Amino acid sequence: MLADELGTIELLAGLTEEQRSELASRADVVAFARDEVLWIEGEHADSWWVLLEGVVALSRRVGREDVIVARMDVPGRWAGGFQAWDDEGFYLATARATSNGRMLRLDATDLRALLDAWFPFGGHLVNGLYHTARSVESTVRQRASLITLGTLAAGLAHELNNPAAAATRAVDGLGEACDALLGCLIGLARHDLTPTQFLALDDLRSELRAAPRPPDALTLADREDELADWLVRHAVSRPRRLAATFAAAGADVVWAGRVSAALPGPALELGLGWVAATLDASTLLERTKESTRRVSELVASVRSYSQMDRASRQEIDVRDGLENTLTMLGHRLHGPIDVVRRYDDPPAIDAHPGELNQVWTNVISNALDAMDDAGTLTIAAYGEQDHVVVEIGDTGPGMPDDVAARAFEPFFTTKEIGDGTGLGLDIARRIVVERHGGTIDLRTSADGTTMVVRLPVHRAE
């Protein structure tokens, strides 16, 4: 009989025989087959489901994919029934059978009636707990999400600002260089510069593109001084400005003398100005290209970090995620932070890269916080038998024993409100252990802390 079977389930072990009989009389037993959908995420949770036998996978829609978040594989696991306490209660996930089996189904109104009759005080507690938990979770998740988003957005804005500002300065300078170039050409035309003279000047300009650069800053400074003196002797205006451009391009006084021979008289200054303008324009174009390339790299890193338009589960190289995370946190890696990479060609793994990026962000942020943004951040990735190991270490003061012992506890933190990423080590542990079948541990001493994450190369279903 169903009532006797209910007595073997630990969840219902405290019920009397009469209570189990009443529960059995009000409930239905639903037999299901493999791949059958029992309930759907977002629909009203008007039934309470208790597993009797079989296996049911619970999945949630994330983007355009269904991600398995839990499994009901032990008799007594339950889900739904939230309308017993909330008229708007809905199923948090979709249930799909992965084997044949049976479930007990009880209407939510009957569940509430039985609780009120059997455990009136318990019913009030559950009702209060349900509403309080929903309110607290909603507030905390929103706050944590805003903190994380704000932190990453600020970092990205900082990283984008540098190349964007450099490109803006280069474009402004490029406009000035183009104006100077055209002005010098007009001046040379007014001095009746011949085609032969202009070709000779252009040949001298071309030589600078292939000229060897000074070996060191001291040699460059000496060459710049020599050129400035030469320009002063030949009554060329802006001698220091032109000398700096020519020296950086590899010119010397011998080259300047050849220009003087090709363009005698007043045309000399215009010719040198034209050459300097072409060199400036070329340099500024390279700076613009480099700046825009850096912006493109940052956008690509953000896209890869967030795993936009990609499958949630895929074969990945953990080094890509680590590097993308470092890019996102680049605003904190300048100055007294030294990043040491020790990558030993780890094998690709089957994983959820977007979730692992959250783990790397949390652990690296914790390491930077521990060092107060000054020290050595060491990141290692290597293969170990059928696992990939990632180690993230800092040179901070280490964790006290009492803190290390509670590091992975839910809601435990040593940070002030508003600090951190909003992703505690407990959630990082869940992502590594429950979602990927790996392990996460820490080693701490007075010389610093190292977080060790082990991930299987091939993850079982």
Q: What is the pLDDT of residues 200-215, one digit of tens each?
A: 888 888 888 665 666 6
What is residue 263's three-state secondary structure?
coil
Looking at the predicted structure, is the pLDDT value of residue 158 above 80? no
The CATH number of 2-118, from 2.60.40.10, 3.30.200.20, 1.10.10.10, 2.60.120.10, is 2.60.120.10
- The position carrying tokens 């049976």 is 102
**The pLDDT of residue 207:** 84
Model confidence at 136, pLDDT cuts 50, 70, 90, reads: low
**The pLDDT of residue 421:** 38
Using a CB cutoff of 8 Å and minimum separation of 24, what contacts does 433-436 make?
A: 435/352, 435/355, 436/351, 436/352, 436/355, 436/356
Digit-coded pLDDT (tens) for 172-190: 888 888 888 888 888 888 8
CA distance 114 to 116: 5
Looking at the predicted structure, is the pLDDT value of residue 296 above 90? no
Q: Which residue has the higher pLDDT, 144 or 85?
A: 85
For the chain, which residues make up each domain, given as ranges? 2-118, 162-294, 311-456
Model confidence at 97, pLDDT cuts 50, 70, 90, reads: very high
Model confidence at 44, pLDDT cuts 50, 70, 90, reads: confident
Looking at the predicted structure, is the pLDDT value of residue 352 above 90? no
CA distance 158 to 329: 10
Looking at the predicted structure, is the pLDDT value of residue 257 above 70? yes
**The pLDDT of residue 151:** 60
The structure tokens listed for 135 are 């309110």
The phi and psi torsions of 460 (rounded to 5 degrees) equal -70, 150
> How many other CB atoms are found less than 10 A from the CB of residue 172?
11
Burial group, residue 448, by CB count within 10 angstroms (0-12, 13-18, 19+): buried
CA distance 141 to 423: 10
The letter for the amino acid at 306 is S
Per-residue CA distances from 431 to 71, 142, 303, 351 (Å): 15, 20, 21, 10
Class of domain 311-456 (CATH, top level): alpha beta
The length of the chain is 461
List % helix, strand, coil for the chain (3-state, nearest 5).
55, 20, 25
Gyration radius of the chain over CA positions: 35
